[in-house]
Amino acid sequence: METNRQKKIAGVLQEELADVLRISTQEKLKGVIISVTKVKVTPDLNEAKVYLSVFPSNKRDAIFKEIVSDSSKIKHQLAQRMRHQMRKMPDLTFYIDDSLDYIDNIDAALKNKENPILNPEILSEKKKK
């Protein structure tokens, strides 16, 4: 269970990290949107798990690799911004948040002819495969 302190620090990290990523992508990548969807901080405040959503999704892997390789630089920029709020900056671990893709897949499946809700016979066919 997250404490109030963890939630507050995660919220501040999320805001500042979104700003850092926005500025860095503005210079390098035109037409790419990177969102920080969630930040989870460990109880000892030594590690922060950062979940990112990248649009367009066809550039996601390349951009994610670049962010991971620049993670020490991003951590330094974040530490400079938050030097009056935090004594020690947590280590950042980045993850891809693919929940939007998951929602799109469900939406596409519901619009497709192979909708198991409208056509229950499909379920028995899929189980056989």
Q: Is the pTM higher than 0.85?
A: no
Strand, coil or helix: what is 13?
A: helix
Distances (CA, A) of 116 to 7, 17, 99, 102: 40, 41, 21, 17
* 124 — pLDDT class (breaks 50, 70, 90): low
- Please say if the pLDDT value at position 1 is more than 90: no
Six token digits for residue 85 = 């709020």
Domain boundaries, the chain: 4-97, 99-129
CATH superfamily of the domain spanning 4-97: K homology (KH) domain (3.30.300.20)
**pLDDT per position as a tens digit, 42-83:** 999 999 999 999 888 888 888 899 899 989 999 999 999 998
